[in-house]
Structure 1
Amino acid sequence: MKISDEEIFSVQEQLLGSKFEFNDQQKNVIKFQDNNDFIACPGSGKTTVLIAKLAITMKRMKKESPHQGICIITHTNVGVDEIRLSLKKTGISEVEYPHFIGTIHEFFNRFFSIKAYGLLIKNRKFNILEEEEYKERFGRRFMEAHRPSSYSIDYSPPGNATLSKIMLEITTDKKLKLKGLEDKGGKYRHSLLRTLADMFKIGNLRHEDTVTLADWYVNENLNKIRSAFSKRFKYVFIDEAQDTSDSQMKVISKITDNNSEIIVQNYGDPYQSLYNLDGDSPDAWKPDEETSPQISLSNRFGDRIAAVLRTTCVAPYPILKGNPSVYSQKPHAFVYSEESRNQVLSKYAETLMLISKKNSVIPLNSGKIFAVSSHHVAINQFYEKYEKGLKKNSKVSLQKQCLYELQKMLYAILDEKLTINSSFFKPHSLVGFIKEFEDKSMLSSNIKIRTFLVGWMKSIINSQYMDFKEFEKELINWFKARYSIDITSEDIMSRMNNLEKQVKKVLNLETSTIAIQENVYVHGDIQINLNTIHGVKGETHSATLLLESNFYRDGLLGTDVTDILDYMSGEFDHVSCTKPNINKSLKLAYVAFSRPRYFVGVALNKANVSEEQIGKLESSGWEIVEV
């Protein structure tokens, strides 16, 4: 299928507006039809390019091969929503059979994992638990039922560090084996296996367990699956391929490798891979930089930020270019002492205000001013009021009480619809459901529900009418996407009257105000949002300050930022970049430094840096600010 310039032009204005057009690199990617990897720098418009290709290809396939579709895999519900909404702009109102669009977890569950679990554990359904709830349930089961005699009852149960290193393996004769921690004692490993097996059999699974299920199912039915898959799908497009785990990529490869009937294209930025930071498994996606088509012009930031990123990266990135239309400021290094650490954020704010007075290029009131770090505890060193999650003040408590009432309603619907043939195991407790709902990794998929709640609370306070039709649609889609169950408007509206009574009861209408106070440092008119680097991945900021961290370094001196000062100064070391601590720091700094449009900065403790290192930074274009 050859894509023409005319077809690209037909979707260009719908996706970019009348003032912009796809550049040559982007057009080449849209036209490319063979198997390949596509490397796209931060802010390159990668997803828009992919959407343009999807729109053109889906329209052509509807006419030329209506029985075949495209399999579109991404990694977040936000990514799925973005693709669906943008396709609507091009006239594609729904992504329907034979096409598929969903997260990688949804892909595995829908096609393989649910079927596999049904074969292994008869007449049962599983529930995917998020990290903390799984750890809690696993630990309780381990200590109560399978703790080895040598494991003192005073010891803490196995935590996330252990759980991240162990996996189930399903043998051809349907038995469960333990992978990982082979260096540990046999009795301890046997206890871990028995606990994992218990969790598996009662339906308490992790995301990685569903990949194990998918892998087993594919191995058992490989030829049939390869044939059926190629009959349904002509293309497989994977967005944000760098976030794919090694085990996920291996399962997909078994289905698609050496299958001439399917074209597989991976899109992403390998330098933003944060999945395997601790090196427990290899990076799954390793595109060949020599042969992979690249989009190396960023629309997000100017060349001053691009210059920092060319060497603050796990590999040299000389072809990365900044947007000549964006005036990014010189990068700033805020050098502080232990006594002045608590003044770093205020100095950051004052620097932005000073720059804004000279030229108003940085929109200070955009809500896009950020300070980030690799660890929550490191942020707390710079702002002691910072907490992992929302503040526990009275206003937040009010909003959270209303959210709790809404969560109870959602759980009631789920409890009614999602049943399981066992009196011992229930797919969700209310506590477990709320923990999952509140988990940070789930926030993006729940944001519309939260937004509705705040708007509804305001309408109740102001005695205003609010239409629930869009909320009904959102909940119907949410239950379908999250739990693969169908609910109706009646399921929702039959409970809304009671929910309204409870919300009104929570709201003291004469005195209440609605506000959600997140982790924000305020200085004058500037609000600085505080978060981890993982928490802002995929975002675009006006300004970003990287706060160094000296936590979890296994005895290494300095900080994650001092490890990479030479790279930030424009010097790339091909030997040291392979060291685990430096490789990890480069990945995190690359993500942090590629968020902002106008201003990037870093906080450095002068006790950890030499005058020579400061001089190198300054010579390479960094502005040094004493705090």
Structure 2
Amino acid sequence: MSNYICISEDDIKKAEKVLLPDGCSFDEDEKVPIIQCMDKSIDVIACPGSGKTTALLAKLTLMLDSLPLDDGKGICVMTHTNVAVNEIKEKLGSKSDILFQYPNYFGTIHSFYSKFCATPYYKQIYESNIAVVDDDVYYRVLRSKFIPWSDLWKKIYYQVKDDIDKIDSRLGKSEKLRLQTDIKFDYLKGVRLTYDGNFFFSKSGKTIVKDKKKDLYKAYFKLLHDEMLAKGVLKYSDVYLLSQMYLTTFPEIRNYLSSRFKYVFIDETQDNSSLQNEIVNLAFNDDVVLQRFGDANQAIYDSSNVSDGDMQIKGEKLEITKSMRFNQPIADFISSMRTYGSDKLLIAVDGAKGFVPHLIIYNENTIGSVIDKYISIIDEYQLSDAKYPFKACGWVGFKEAPEHLTVNSYYPDFSSKKKVEKKHSNLNFIGILNETLKHRKSAGNVYKGIIEFCVKFLNSIDFEVEGSRVSSKSLKKTIENKFEEDLIKLRTTVTPWTRRILNNDVDVYSEIGQFLFGCISKVVEEESIDEADFLKHFKADGIELNFNESCENRISKDGVSISIDTVHGVKGETHTATLYLESLYHMKTDLNRIFTRMFGKKKGKFDAYERSSLRIGYVGMSRATDLLCIAVSEQTFSEFEEDIRGLEGSEHLKLIKLY
């Protein structure tokens, strides 16, 4: 392959003027070689706050003038979220429009495989369209088909016997049956239809049954394949399963995709599952320049991401070890927590000493004072007017057992997502808006929330469009064909509704509910809907919008406001100060495992819990620009006291005892 795009030093200067603040330039040792590399596949391993997405933006900016490419091929840019797509569009402006035109592709990795692989394969094999791709809808339908006393219901018993035996024997027969079904369904939700040339069933990466002749296989296949996949009811991850099947069954598709795209760029690849990584390699041959940007050390979402090899591709590995986020003391402290990459220490770009990490050591009597102490430290260092927020975060948010150390242990009022999910139905309109408005507060996302609510409601009453479950596409088509006036009214009214929503006008929800009741009543025609029951989904009682700065998990004191969250909830954020809260996970605390590795008490390969603890800690502790505080229990501190005091003596740490 020839005719690669060439990026000169003058081009680099042009990109710096477009993307960087005045007087700033790209690092010549690490970033410039990555930006200029256009002739081979590479895997960019970038530390937190390194500006890797800006490096990718620089490549795209400098490629725009070369599009369309001389050989007629395009470029493919895949991200994990539409937020990232919108961020790149905003940075590049109208010049980026060409990235969305044939033969180029610019969008999420899920949309790419849905468009090019899953959808055409499904039509070819099942001779129908996919009805819905939605985890909430999928599990609701799955639950309706998981019948008590069915073969599968009975066969799962021995997998969950210990939990079933804990059911209170004093309960009534019907309540016991309901609880049994709940326990078995929770187990079933983790079972995956898997493919390696043939279907088999797995859970947590381990095979459950592969032999087609076994009754257990037949029971799983009937439910998960015949009743779900073959009926077009898919969960999010099924798109990747179908893509894997397509690319394996029809390997010539790889030639088509490789002939269309000369360059493929993938951002945030640490969030890829193993299956996503596999289908990337199945989709493109060695002629394609495949460049991936991410950090395996921050892979905390998918359990299949735990192997060190997940980030590896055939291309060369390049690293960005210089962070523009945190100071050098924080960089020094978290360097040893990386589970993947080189032994290079992380470097703070500005070289500032800043504040050393603070260990707040507590016992069972003073754990409730940890956050107050964190606030007093922020106040002492006069950080209250800083640019970024102050947050406290931990790995495990909430456990029913009070003896488990969680975020809830430090802040008893903590409302985890699990608790909220139990409290509120998926059909609560405000709950849906919380998701659609989470990243961008716009009329477009309010409109999206309205459509999403209508789709979920119609599916909840088993309404069908042309014999299939309702999807956003089929609903919009129905409205456009039959109820054009209502559609026009919706589009003209959604903007003033959005203003009222963002101004916390709670009366707007009942108004939206009344309007949608009228529309949906027309759509379902003869089927009757109880108006009072419908409008319950629009009540603001007990749930509030939390996409803005007002947050339920918040403490304000002495002019300092602290948000409390899980590490998963703060991933990707930047804080002025972060308090990392030690928590218990599988018999040991995360800090116990981190310190064991940090101080060389154990060497060699990581087990799964060690790797997860290190990665969670690395993500949580790398959010802060100025101040990192770490809440450490007296028990953990006493076990590693000599090593910890050794760091204190060399001015790498400051210790604060609350007892």
Instruction: Establish whether TM, by shorter chain, passes 0.5.
Output: yes
**Partner AA of 1:147 in structure 2:** L
Instruction: Show the counterpart of 1:560.
Output: 590
Structure 1's 607 and 238: CA in aligned 2 closer, same or farther, altered over 3 A?
A: same
8 A contact 1:312–1:568 mirrored in 2: yes
Instruction: Show the counterpart of 2:500.
Output: 456
Counterparts of 1:13-28 in structure 2, within 5 Å, are: 13-24=17-28, 25-28=30-33
Instruction: Show the counterpart of 2:235.
Output: 206
Which secondary structure does the structure 2 equivalent of 1:265 belong to? strand
Instruction: Show the counterpart of 2:482.
Output: none
8 A contact 1:533–1:588 mirrored in 2: yes
8 A contact 2:393–2:578 mirrored in 1: yes
| In 2: Cα distance, 1:532 partner to 1:408 partner | 25
Superposed CA offset, 1:109-133 (max 9, x none): 0111011111222223232223x65
- Please point out which of 538, 557, 562 is paired with 1:528: 562
**Corresponding position: 1:178 with 2:178:** no
Superposed CA offset, 1:423-480 (max 9, x none): 474448xxxxxxxxxxxxxxxxxxxx999966434669699xxxxxxxxxxxxxxxxx
Instruction: Show the counterpart of 1:36.
Output: 42
Superposed CA offset, 1:184-219 (max 9, x none): 694444323322111112222122211111111122
Which secondary structure does the structure 2 equivalent of 1:518 belong to? coil
Deviation at 1:606, TM superposition (A): 0.1
8 A contact 1:70–1:234 mirrored in 2: yes
Deviation at 1:346, TM superposition (A): 0.6
Structure 1's 367 and 451: CA in aligned 2 closer, same or farther, altered over 3 A?
A: farther
**Partner AA of 2:201 in structure 1:** L
Deviation at 1:410, TM superposition (A): 2.3
Which secondary structure does the structure 2 equivalent of 1:578 belong to? coil
Instruction: Show the counterpart of 2:82.
Output: 77
Which secondary structure does the structure 1 equivalent of 2:310 belong to? coil
Instruction: Show the counterpart of 2:617.
Output: 589
Instruction: Show the counterpart of 1:226.
Output: 254
| In 2: Cα distance, 1:111 partner to 1:560 partner | 41
Instruction: Show the counterpart of 1:307.
Output: 332
8 A contact 1:565–1:617 mirrored in 2: no
**Partner AA of 1:31 in structure 2:** Q
Which secondary structure does the structure 1 equivalent of 2:237 belong to? helix
Q: Percent identity?
A: 24
| In 1: Cα distance, 2:314 partner to 2:256 partner | 30
**Partner AA of 1:410 in structure 2:** I
Unaligned segments of structure 1, at least 5 residues: 357-361, 429-448, 464-501, 509-513
Deviation at 1:340, TM superposition (A): 0.8
- Please point out which of 178, 188, 196 is paired with 2:224: 196
| In 1: Cα distance, 2:387 partner to 2:420 partner | 22
8 A contact 1:73–1:102 mirrored in 2: yes
Which secondary structure does the structure 1 equivalent of 2:347 belong to? coil
Structure 1's 346 and 415: CA in aligned 2 closer, same or farther, altered over 3 A?
A: closer
Which secondary structure does the structure 2 equivalent of 1:147 belong to? helix
8 A contact 1:330–1:623 mirrored in 2: yes
**Partner AA of 2:264 in structure 1:** V
8 A contact 2:360–2:370 mirrored in 1: yes
8 A contact 2:197–2:248 mirrored in 1: no
Deviation at 1:365, TM superposition (A): 5.9
Which secondary structure does the structure 1 equivalent of 2:50 belong to? coil
8 A contact 1:43–1:300 mirrored in 2: yes
| In 2: Cα distance, 1:156 partner to 1:455 partner | 41
**Corresponding position: 1:518 with 2:562:** no
Deviation at 1:137, TM superposition (A): 3.6
Structure 1's 26 and 450: CA in aligned 2 closer, same or farther, altered over 3 A?
A: farther
Instruction: Show the counterpart of 2:93.
Output: 88
Instruction: Show the counterpart of 2:373.
Output: 347
**Corresponding position: 1:240 with 2:271:** no
**Corresponding position: 1:49 with 2:55:** yes
- Please point out which of 71, 78, 103 is paired with 2:108: 103
| In 2: Cα distance, 1:155 partner to 1:337 partner | 41
| In 2: Cα distance, 1:59 partner to 1:211 partner | 33
**Partner AA of 2:359 in structure 1:** A
Structure 1's 239 and 324: CA in aligned 2 closer, same or farther, altered over 3 A?
A: same
**Partner AA of 1:311 in structure 2:** S
Instruction: Show the counterpart of 2:526.
Output: none
| In 2: Cα distance, 1:254 partner to 1:37 partner | 17
Structure 1's 515 and 506: CA in aligned 2 closer, same or farther, altered over 3 A?
A: farther
8 A contact 2:375–2:557 mirrored in 1: yes
| In 2: Cα distance, 1:170 partner to 1:193 partner | 15
Structure 1's 159 and 340: CA in aligned 2 closer, same or farther, altered over 3 A?
A: farther
> Which stretch of the first structure deviates more once superposed, 617-626 or 69-78?
617-626
| In 1: Cα distance, 2:396 partner to 2:15 partner | 42
Deviation at 1:596, TM superposition (A): 1.0
Instruction: Show the counterpart of 2:318.
Output: 293
Structure 1's 324 and 409: CA in aligned 2 closer, same or farther, altered over 3 A?
A: closer
Deviation at 1:382, TM superposition (A): 0.8
Instruction: Show the counterpart of 2:15.
Output: 11
Instruction: Show the counterpart of 1:410.
Output: 451
8 A contact 2:78–2:112 mirrored in 1: yes
Instruction: Show the counterpart of 1:492.
Output: none
8 A contact 1:420–1:427 mirrored in 2: no
Deviation at 1:66, TM superposition (A): 7.4
Root mean square deviation, CA, Å: 4.1
Deviation at 1:561, TM superposition (A): 0.9
8 A contact 2:391–2:575 mirrored in 1: yes
8 A contact 2:386–2:576 mirrored in 1: no
Structure 1's 37 and 420: CA in aligned 2 closer, same or farther, altered over 3 A?
A: farther
| In 2: Cα distance, 1:371 partner to 1:604 partner | 13
Unaligned segments of structure 2, at least 5 residues: 158-176, 399-405, 435-445, 473-492, 508-534, 542-547
Counterparts of 1:398-437 in structure 2, within 5 Å, are: 400=430, 409-411=450-452, 423=467, 425-427=469-471
Instruction: Show the counterpart of 2:164.
Output: none
Structure 1's 416 and 61: CA in aligned 2 closer, same or farther, altered over 3 A?
A: farther
**Partner AA of 1:249 in structure 2:** N
**Partner AA of 1:341 in structure 2:** I
8 A contact 1:279–1:580 mirrored in 2: no
8 A contact 2:67–2:98 mirrored in 1: no
**Partner AA of 1:456 in structure 2:** R
**Partner AA of 1:72 in structure 2:** V
8 A contact 2:266–2:293 mirrored in 1: yes
8 A contact 1:70–1:99 mirrored in 2: yes
Instruction: Show the counterpart of 2:486.
Output: none
| In 2: Cα distance, 1:269 partner to 1:461 partner | 42
Structure 1's 267 and 517: CA in aligned 2 closer, same or farther, altered over 3 A?
A: closer
> Which stretch of the first structure deviates more once superposed, 202-211 or 590-599?
202-211
| In 2: Cα distance, 1:83 partner to 1:31 partner | 19
| In 2: Cα distance, 1:61 partner to 1:365 partner | 42
| In 2: Cα distance, 1:200 partner to 1:80 partner | 29
| In 1: Cα distance, 2:580 partner to 2:336 partner | 16
Structure 1's 605 and 19: CA in aligned 2 closer, same or farther, altered over 3 A?
A: same
**Partner AA of 1:206 in structure 2:** K
8 A contact 2:388–2:574 mirrored in 1: no
8 A contact 2:26–2:32 mirrored in 1: yes
8 A contact 1:335–1:606 mirrored in 2: yes
Structure 1's 402 and 566: CA in aligned 2 closer, same or farther, altered over 3 A?
A: closer
**Partner AA of 2:323 in structure 1:** S
Q: Normalized against structure 2, the TM-score is what?
A: 0.73
Instruction: Show the counterpart of 1:374.
Output: 395
**Partner AA of 1:550 in structure 2:** L
Deviation at 1:297, TM superposition (A): 1.1
